[in-house]
Structure 1
Amino acid sequence: MAIPVIVYSADAEGGRGVRADGAILGLAFSVRDVAALLQTAGLQNFDEMDVVRSTWIEWRGGGPDDWIR
């Protein structure tokens, strides 16, 4: 079962907060960063394409292509 993931709107520097299963994982500046944060959280084989294609990631304030506020 996938853990619920939220990627929040970009801040003034383009960073987006990432939360998984209620815990803050960190700040991402790209899809690669989101994948790295999820790998750190235990999804070792999760890559950039998984991030883009995943239906259980909620993108707030824009999708995986929106990094500038």
Structure 2
Amino acid sequence: MSAVIVVHPPSPAGGRQVSARGETLGTAYGLTDLIEYLRRAGLDVATVDLYDEAIIEWQGGNHLVWGREPE
């Protein structure tokens, strides 16, 4: 089974694309953005484990790697 959420590698322009079940949710620039996308995807953000590989697949770095901040 693949993860529900995929956090893609950091973009050279900054941020990371986030997708759920193959649908792009948007670009996250940090955990605050990611939590909003998790909420929109119907996950209980109060109980989701960012390290649960059945829920979130981190590509190109973990929750500390986000790339350049937007200007």
Q: Same fold (TM over 0.5)?
A: yes
TM range (shorter): 0.7 to 0.9
Which one has a bigger Cα radius of gyration? 2
State the TM-score, normalized to the length of structure 2.
0.74
Structure with the bigger percentage of helix: 1
Equivalenced residue count is 65
Identity %: 34
What is the aligned-residue RMSD (CA, Å)? 2.1
Structure 1 runs not aligned, ≥5 long: none
Matches within 5 A, 1:4-43: 4-43=4-43
SS in 1 for 2:48: helix
SS in 2 for 1:9: strand
State the TM-score, normalized to the length of structure 1.
0.75
Contact 1:31 1:64 in 2 (8 A): yes
